[in-house]
C-alpha cells in the first residue's frame, strides 16, 4: 500500500468517489438520527432504546469510518474495496434495522419514532446498495473484496 | 487487483483444473482483505447452532460460571484456530493441501476425509434437517414448510453459494452478518423481557449444575473442529496473520457475545426459544431471516469444506462435487423429514464420536509447522511452500501414530477418567498428538531414521 499512498489523488478519482462519499455521509447522518431516537425513548422503553442505540451506533461507525477511508483513498482499486466493505455493512445494518423497527414490541411506546427509524434504516439500506453497485460498475471491483 | 492477474507463469506456475484452488495455492490476485476473512468466519459462526450451544450452557450453570467458561473456552479456541489459520495464511493452501505436507500424500486423503469429508457433509445433512424443523415451527400450516420439503429446498439453497465457491460464501456473509447480529440481539432482549426481566437472571440457579471444567469442555467442543479447518478460509488472506486476527476477533468478541446472550435468554425463558421470543415480539420477518440466513451462511461452509476434502482424491471439478454432495445431503435430510418417526440421532451420535478424533489431526499439524519445521531450520515463510516438482512423502508415519494415540487418549482409552473431567477431551487429544509427534519425529530425525515412506512428485495441476 505504501506505493499507492504516494500517488497524487486524480480529478478522475475525486469524481468517481463523489457518489459513494455523499452516500456515506448521508448514512452517517441517518445513524445520528437513529441514535437521537434512542436517546429520546430512554425513559419510556429501555429495550427499544438499546436497539435504537445499537443500530444507530453500528450505522454511524460503518459510515463514518467508510467516509474517512474513502476520502483517504489514493487509487481506484483501494477506493472500490472500501466502498464494497462499508457499502455492504451499511446495507446489512439497514436490513436489520428495518426488521427490528417494524416489530410492535420495540415501537409500542412511540410508534411514530419507530416508523421514522424504520425509514432511516430503509434509506441506509438503499444507500449501501448504491455504494456497492457504484463500486462494482464504475470502479471495477468484485462484489466481495 | 485484476492488474496483478498478469503474473507470469514463473511467478504462478499452477493450473487450477478443479476450481477454487483445491489442489494449488491461492494466487496473489485472488487474495482478500482482513475484513473479508473476518466476515466469512463470522458468517460461519452466525448460526443458530452457536445460540443453542450457549443456551445449553444456560441450563447448566449460573451466569458467573457461564461467563467464565465462555471466556476461557473462547481463549482456547482462539489459540488453536489462530495457530491453524496462520499456517493457511503462509501456505495459501486448504487444510487438506496442508495435510499433504504433514501426513504425506495418502495421509491427506485419509485424514482429510476424517477431518472434513465425512463430518462436514454429515453436519450439512443434520443442519439442513434442523432448518426444515425450524421452518416448520415458524409456519406449520404452509405446505412448503413441511419438514421434508423445507429440508429439500433449504439444502438446495445452501448448495448454491457453496457451488459458486469462496466468492459465494463471502458474498452471503457480507449481506447477512450485521443484520443477523441486530436481529439476534433484538430476540435476546425480547426473550429476557418476556421471561421475567434481568432480575430473574441474577437469581438464576440451574436445577442440575455442572462443574466449570465441564462447561469449558462444552464451549471448546462446540467449535474446535471449525478451529482446525480455519486454513480453508485463511488461505485467501493477503497477509499471513490476517486469518489469525480475523479468527481471534470473531471468537473473542462475537462468539463470547452470542454464547452469553443465548445463555441469558435460556435462563430467562427456561429454554433456547429464539424463534418464540421473536414471534412474541412481532419480529416475524426477523425470525425467518435468522432461520434461513443463519443456517445458510453456516451450512454452505460445511458443504464447501467437505467438497474441498473429497476433491483431494476424487478427480472431478469441485463445483460438480459440491452439487453431488449438496443434492445427496438435501435428499437425505428430506427423507428423514418425510418419514414419520425417523430420527437423525444415531447419525448425530456418530458425528459426535468422530468429532473426538479430529483435534489430534490439528495437534500434529501445529507441532509439525511450528516446532518440527523450525527444528529442521526451515524459515517460517518457506514452510509448506509448494512448487512444481516438489516431492511429498506418501506417508509420514510418526504423524499417523501420534494422531491415533491422541484420538485414543481423547476417547478415554489411555487416560484416567479424572484427567478428562478436568481437561476437555478435545484438548487432551490435541495436546497428546502434539507431544507424541514431537517425541517421535525429532529423535528419529536426529538418529538419521527417515520418518517418511515413499515419494510423490507434484505436477503443475497440484496432483
Which conformational region is residue B33 in: left (phi greater than 0), alpha (psi within -120 to 50 degrees), or beta?
A: beta
Q: Closest CB to B281: pick one of A62, A96, A105.
A: A105
Q: Three cell numbers at B54?
A: 450457549
Look at residue A47 and tell me if it is in a domain: yes
Nearest to B2 by CA among A128, A129, A80: A80
pLDDT band at B326 (very low <50, low <70, confident <90, very high): very high
List, as one string, the DSSP characters of B86-140: HHHHHH---HHHHHHHHH-HHHHHHHHIIIIIHHHHHHHHHHHHHHHHHHHHH-T
Residues of chain A in contact with residue B190, where contact means CB-CB under 8 angstroms, are: 47, 103, 105
Q: Tell which wins on pLDDT, B410 or A91.
A: A91
Q: Closest CB to B190: pick one of A85, A105, A140.
A: A105
Nearest to B404 by CA among B350, B360, B355, B356: B360
pLDDT band at B351 (very low <50, low <70, confident <90, very high): confident
- Record: contact B174-A144, CB cut-off 8 A: yes
CA distance B5 to A31: 39
Q: Is A103 in CB contact (< 8 Å) with chain B? A: yes
CA distance B364 to B382: 19
Q: Three cell numbers at B92?
A: 495459501
User: Per-residue pLDDT tens for A5-23?
Assistant: 444 556 688 888 999 999 9
The three-state secondary structure class of B32 is strand
Sign of CA dihedral B263, B178, B245, B318: positive
H-type alpha helices, B229-357: 231-234, 242-249, 256-269, 274-280, 284-311, 318-338, 345-356
Phi and psi at residue B456, to the nearest 5°: -140, 125
Angle, CA of B238, B243 and B246, to the nearest 5°: 115
Look at residue A22 and tell me if it is in a domain: no
Quick count: other Cβ atoms within 10 Å of Cβ B6? Answer: 8
CA distance B155 to B325: 10
Q: Are A97 and A120 in contact (CB under 8 A)?
A: yes
- pLDDT at position B24 is 93
Residues of chain A in contact with residue B5, where contact means CB-CB under 8 angstroms, are: none
Look at residue A126 and tell me if it is in a domain: yes
Look at residue A9 and tell me if it is in a domain: no
Most confident residue range from A132-141, B113-122, B243-252, B298-307: B243-252
Q: Which whole number is the average pLDDT over A26-34?
A: 96
- Record: contact A100-B283, CB cut-off 8 A: yes
Nearest-Cα distance to chain B for A74, in Å, is 14
- pLDDT at position B8 is 58
Backbone Cα Rg of chain B: 22
Q: Are B74 and B251 in contact (CB under 8 A)?
A: yes
The three-state secondary structure class of B462 is coil
List, as one string, the DSSP characters of B407-442: HHHHHTSSS-HHHHHHS-HHHHHHHHHHHHHHHHHH
Q: Is A73 in CB contact (< 8 Å) with chain B? A: no
Phi and psi at residue A129, to the nearest 5°: -65, -40
Q: Which whole number is the average pLDDT over B152-179?
A: 91
Look at residue A4 and tell me if it is in a domain: no
The three-state secondary structure class of B378 is coil
Which region among A117-126, B94-103, B273-282, B428-437 has the lowest average model confidence (pLDDT)? Answer: B273-282
Report the domain count for chain A: 1
Nearest-Cα distance to chain B for A93, in Å, is 5
CA atoms within 13 A on the CB side of B62: 6
> Would the pLDDT of B141 be above 60?
yes
Q: Which whole number is the average pLDDT over B192-212?
A: 83
Q: Tell which wins on pLDDT, B137 or A125.
A: A125
Nearest-Cα distance to chain B for A46, in Å, is 10
Phi and psi at residue A10, to the nearest 5°: -85, 160
Nearest CA in chain B to A58: B178
- Record: contact A92-B32, CB cut-off 8 A: no
Percent of chain A scoring above 90 in pLDDT: 63
Q: What is the mean pLDDT of chain B?
A: 88
pLDDT band at B313 (very low <50, low <70, confident <90, very high): confident
Look at residue A127 and tell me if it is in a domain: yes
Q: Is A77 in CB contact (< 8 Å) with chain B? A: yes
**Domains of chain B with bracketed CATH:** 22-356 (1.10.4160.10)
Nearest to B156 by CA among B8, B403, B323: B323
Full residue range of the structural domain in which residue A75 is found:
31-138
> Would the pLDDT of A72 be above 80?
yes
- pLDDT at position A6 is 45
> Would the pLDDT of B40 be above 70?
yes
User: Per-residue pLDDT tens for B406-458?
Assistant: 999 988 888 888 887 778 788 889 999 999 999 999 999 999 999 999 999 99
Look at residue A14 and tell me if it is in a domain: no
Look at residue A21 and tell me if it is in a domain: no
Query: DSSP letter at B331?
Result: H
Amino acid at each position: 500500500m505504501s506505493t499507492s499512498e504516494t500517488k497524487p489523488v486524480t480529478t478522475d478519482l475525486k469524481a468517481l468517489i463523489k457518489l459513494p462519499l455523499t452516500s456515506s455521509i448521508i448514512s452517517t447522518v441517518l445513524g445520528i438520527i437513529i441514535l437521537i431516537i434512542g436517546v429520546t425513548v430512554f425513559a419510556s422503553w429501555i429495550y427499544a432504546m438499546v436497539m435504537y442505540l445499537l443500530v444507530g451506533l453500528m450505522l454511524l461507525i460503518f459510515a463514518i469510518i467508510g467516509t474517512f477511508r474513502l476520502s483517504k483513498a489514493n487509487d481506484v482499486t483501494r477506493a472500490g474495496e472500501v466502498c464494497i466493505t462499508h457499502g455492504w455493512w451499511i446495507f446489512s445494518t439497514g436490513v436489520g434495522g428495518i426488521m427490528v423497527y417494524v416489530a410492535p414490541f420495540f415501537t409500542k411506546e412511540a410508534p411514530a419514532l419507530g416508523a421514522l427509524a424504520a425509514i432511516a434504516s430503509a434509506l441506509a439500506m438503499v444507500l449501501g446498495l448504491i455504494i456497492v453497485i457504484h463500486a462494482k460498475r464504475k470502479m471495477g471491483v468484485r462484489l466481495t473484496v | 487487483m485484476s492488474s496483478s492477474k498478469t503474473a507470469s507463469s514463473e511467478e504462478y506456475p499452477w493450473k487450477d483444473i478443479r476450481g477454487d484452488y483445491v489442489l494449488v495455492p491461492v494466487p496473489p490476485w485472488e487474495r482478500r482483505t482482513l475484513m473479508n476473512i473476518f466476515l466469512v468466519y463470522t458468517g460461519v459462526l452466525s448460526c443458530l447452532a452457536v445460540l443453542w450451544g450457549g443456551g445449553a450452557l444456560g441450563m447448566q450453570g449460573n451466569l458467573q460460571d457461564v461467563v467464565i467458561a465462555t471466556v476461557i473456552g473462547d481463549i482456547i479456541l482462539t489459540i488453536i484456530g489462530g495457530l491453524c489459520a496462520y499456517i493457511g495464511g503462509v501456505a495459501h493452501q486448504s487444510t487438506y493441501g496442508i495435510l499433504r505436507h504433514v501426513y504425506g500424500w495418502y495421509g491427506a486423503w485419509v485424514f482429510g476425509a476424517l477431518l472434513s469429508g465425512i463430518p462436514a457433509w454429515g453436519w450439512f445433512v443434520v443442519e439442513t434437517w434442523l432448518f426444515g424443523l425450524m421452518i416448520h415451527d415458524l409456519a406449520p400450516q404452509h405446505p412448503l414448510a413441511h419438514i421434508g420439503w423445507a429440508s429439500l429446498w433449504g439444502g438446495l439453497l445452501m448448495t448454491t453459494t457453496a457451488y459458486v465457491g469462496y466468492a459465494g460464501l463471502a458474498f452471503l456473509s457480507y449481506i447477512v452478518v450485521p443484520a443477523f447480529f441486530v436481529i439476534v440481539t433484538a430476540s435476546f432482549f425480547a426473550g429476557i423481557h418476556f421471561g421475567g426481566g434481568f432480575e430473574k437472571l441474577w437469581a438464576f440457579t440451574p436445577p442440575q449444575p455442572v462443574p466449570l471444567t465441564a462447561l469449558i469442555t462444552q464451549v471448546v467442543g462446540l467449535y474446535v473442529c471449525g478451529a482446525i479447518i480455519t486454513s480453508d478460509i485463511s488461505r485467501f488472506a493477503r497477509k499471513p496473520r490476517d486469518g489469525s486476527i480475523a479468527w481471534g476477533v470473531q471468537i473473542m468478541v462475537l462468539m463470547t457475545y452470542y454464547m452469553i446472550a443465548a445463555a441469558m435468554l435460556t435462563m430467562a425463558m427456561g429454554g433456547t426459544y429464539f424463534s418464540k421470543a421473536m414471534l412474541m415480539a412481532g419480529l416475524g420477518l426477523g425470525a425467518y431471516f435468522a432461520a434461513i440466513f443463519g443456517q445458510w451462511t453456516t451450512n454452505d461452509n460445511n458443504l464447501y469444506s467437505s467438497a474441498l476434502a473429497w476433491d483431494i482424491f476424487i478427480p472431478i471439478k469441485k463445483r460438480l462435487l459440491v452439487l453431488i454432495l449438496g443434492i445427496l445431503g438435501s435428499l437425505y435430510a428430506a427423507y428423514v423429514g418425510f418419514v414419520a418417526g425417523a430420527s437423525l440421532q444415531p447419525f448425530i451420535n456418530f458425528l459426535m464420536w468422530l468429532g473426538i478424533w479430529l483435534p489430534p489431526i490439528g495437534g500434529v499439524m501445529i507441532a509439525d509447522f511450528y516446532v518440527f519445521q523450525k527444528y529442521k531450520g526451515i524459515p517460517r515463510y518457506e514452510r509448506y511452500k509448494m512448487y512444481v516438482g516438489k516431492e511429498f512423502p506418501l506417508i509420514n508415519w510418526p504423524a499417523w501414530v501420534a494422531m491415533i494415540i491422541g484420538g485414543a487418549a481423547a476417547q478415554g482409552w489411555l487416560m484416567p477418567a479424572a484427567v478428562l473431567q478436568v481437561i476437555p477431551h478435545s484438548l487432551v487429544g490435541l495436546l497428546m498428538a502434539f507431544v507424541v509427534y514431537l517425541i517421535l519425529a525429532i529423535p528419529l530425525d536426529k538418529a538419521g531414521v527417515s520418518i517418511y515412506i515413499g515419494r510423490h512428485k507434484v505436477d503443475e495441476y497440484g496432483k
